[in-house]
Amino acid sequence: MKNDNSFQVVVIGAGLAGLSSAYELTKAGKKVLLVEQWDNVGGLARTIDVNGFRFDTGPHRWYTKNDMVNNWMLRLMNKEIIKVPRLTRIYFDNKFFHYPIQIKSTILGMGILKTSLAVFDYLLVQLKSLVKKREAVTIEEGYIDQFGRTLYEMFFRRYTEKLWGRSCRQISSDWLGQRSRGFNIGTVIKNTLFNKEKVVSFIDEFSYPRQGIGRIAERLAKGVIKGGGKILLNSPVVKVSHRQGKIASVTVNNGKSRKEINSRQFISTMAISDLIKALHPPPPATILNVNRKCQYRDEVQVVLFINKTHITKDTWIYVHSLDLPFIRFMEMDNWSKSLSPKGCTSIVFEIACNYGDNIWQKKDAELVELVTGKFISEFKLITRENIIGSYVHRVPKEYPVYHLRYRQDLKILKKYLHRFVNLQIAGRNGIFRYNNMDHSIEMGLYAAWNIIEGSRKFDIESVNIEREYLEEKKVKVSFPELPEDQYVEEKKN
Ligand SMILES: Cc1cc2nc3c(=O)[nH]c(=O)nc-3n(C[C@H](O)[C@H](O)[C@H](O)COP(=O)(O)OP(=O)(O)OC[C@H]3O[C@@H](n4cnc5c(N)ncnc54)[C@H](O)[C@@H]3O)c2cc1C
């Protein structure tokens, strides 16, 4: 076992949070080592290239209400950012509905009877809330409070349960809060009647790197190396040793050898539950018991390469039907025409599952056949002759599951970790919060700046808990500070 003593900061995890930290730290002249378990950087926000087909690991649109983070990203990406027109729909009972909900298409799709019932239900909920305001505990209560029971049953219950693989009564309403805070029938009506005042839920375009979302991570990694930092791939952290209230070292195991790495400071973006498990000496049994309750939802992604372009007009489509195995699919052509070889496109299908379950363990060929058969027969957009290749990959820990008492449980775990004065935790699974990319980047920046400043000035825990939902930000100026010519517009064919 080799011991390496030469680093000032070890960052665990080369997702956007860890990369942003390492990037800022190397820029400030710190000696940084970034350790990553996989063979490439980007974590959940990667772009994979197979024979000239570039596709993302799930639909990733860039939007942030934080101008500092937006400008930071734009400076990093320079001229690579394009604006992509957005069309998102829900496929439900053989019909397409616009998402976010649009009144006209919803009434047409639902029919007048169901629409009347939905309006009645919604008004009932509003009246009830005037008499007695309740604090929604479960996601079911949260949806009903925002939309009424009819719309909840129609648009939200089935999809949410398909995504999480558990009942809406077993998931905390906080998830809904972070996903669609403040978005309710009121905002839908306001948007329909006064759509000059744009609400971002309804924005019809977003920012995106022309060559795929993974370009952000690729550019950050390049910056880290250029700044003198080191990135160690294929190196899962298996042990985090501590003594006298400080982290002393991390041990990585690449399957062939183990290596212990010492450092003065540590930033961890690996899943909080894995960090707790890796601690040595181990935490007390009470902590380990609480830790077991933190679970994640995983995903298998199947990609079909097609010898046609724009077979759909959507950026992504949510699929509610339980007969179809996938929860969502996206066509890369509708994000950027630079992502596929000429005359071709690719479609990424997401199947939510749990690590090691039936779906996770299926052979790649079985998964491709499952998706192909169902997609062709249901949508009739392509034939088998149009499919010129496929790819399957499995993504563990895509979503932290907000179980009902998760807030109290996390408080216990974080209190325990706070005893280590040279450890900061950040990132989506790192602090167990349903982050978007901008939140993870902001957390990564804060962790780095705290080390550079020599004090814990920046509060990582404050990121992504604001009460005002990001999608409700009024769009005034898209990109302040940078001149217009830095943006390249790209239109759909
Ligand atoms: C399907 C999907 C769609 C999304 N869509 C959007 C969107 O439209 N817009 C948006 O802004 N955000 C979106 N997000 C969220 C976004 O992907 C994440 O917020 C962001 O990528 C998280 O970055 P991170 O660095 O915090 O975590 P991660 O990306 O999870 O990075 C953590 C890294 O740590 C590594 N690691 C873990 N354990 C170890 C270990 N023991 N040793 C070494 N390394 C380890 C992992 O391999 C990983 O690379 C989406 C996420 C998903 C899953």
Residues of the chain with pLDDT > 70, as a percent, come to 86
Supply angle C-alpha 203, 86, 215, rounded to 5: 105
Q: Residue 370's closest CA among 328, 327, 329, 326? A: 326
Q: What is the CATH number of the domain that holds 390?
A: 3.90.660.10
298 lines ligand 1 (CB under 6 A): no
Q: Which residues pair with 280 in a beta bridge?
A: 241
Cα(307) to centroid of ligand 1, in Å? Answer: 31
d(CA 288, CA 276): 7
16 lines ligand 1 (CB under 6 A): yes
CA of 40 to the centre of ligand 1 (A): 13
Dihedral sign for Cα atoms in the order 143, 149, 155, 157: positive
Same domain, 392 and 409: no
Order of strands across the sheet with 328-331? 95-98, 88-92, 316-319, 328-331, 345-353, 296-306, 387-400
* Boundary residue ending a domain (176, 203, 230): 203
DSSP, collapsed to helix, strand or coil, labels residue 49 as strand
Of 142, 172, 203, which residue constitutes the final position of a domain? 203
For residue 100, cis peptide bond before it (omega within 30 degrees of 0): yes
Residue 349 lies in a domain: yes
Q: Tell whether 53 is covered by a domain.
A: no
Q: How many domains does the chain have?
A: 3
pLDDT in tens, 161-220: 999 999 999 999 988 876 654 555 666 655 555 554 444 445 578 999 999 999 999 999
Assess if residue 393 is contained within a domain. Answer: yes
CB of 214 sitting under 6 A from ligand 1: no
Output the CA 44–ligand 1 centroid distance in Å.
3
DSSP tag of 22: H
**Residue 477 located in a structural domain:** no
CB-side neighbour CA atoms (13 Å) of 321? 15
Indicate the average pLDDT of the chain. Answer: 88
State CA 168 to chain mean position distance.
20
Residues 19 and 112 in one domain: no
Q: How far is CA 220 from CA 224, 267, 414, 444, 445, in A?
A: 6, 17, 28, 12, 12
Q: Is 351 in the pocket of ligand 1 (CB under 6 A)?
A: no
| Nearest in space to 395 (alpha carbons), one of 51, 159, 45 | 45
The answer to whether the CB of 400 is under 6 A from ligand 1 is: no
- Are residues 26 and 1 in contact, defined by beta-carbon separation less than 8 angstroms? no
387-442 pLDDT, tens digit per residue, is 999 999 999 999 999 999 999 999 999 999 999 999 999 999 999 999 999 999 99
Residue 86, domain member (yes or no): no
Same domain, residue pair 377 and 314 = yes
- Rounded to two decimals, what is the model's pTM? 0.90
Domain boundary among 203, 232, 253: 203
Same-domain status, 409 and 371: no
Residue 59 CB less than 6 A away from ligand 1: yes
pLDDT tens-digit readout, 125-150: 888 877 777 788 999 999 998 888 98
What domain range is 450 assigned to?
A: 2-45+65-78+210-294+402-472
CA of 298 to the centre of ligand 1 (A): 12
Are 369 and 420 within one domain? Answer: no
Q: What is the pLDDT of residues 64-103, one digit of tens each?
A: 989 999 999 999 998 899 999 989 999 988 888 887 766 6
**pLDDT reading at 225 higher than 80:** yes
Q: Let me know: does 178 contact 434? Beta carbons within 8 Å.
A: yes
Mean pLDDT to the nearest integer, 96-123: 77
Task: Identify which of 450, 474, 453, 473 has the alpha carbon closest to the alpha carbon of residue 461.
Answer: 450
- Say which CATH number the domain at 32 has: 3.50.50.60
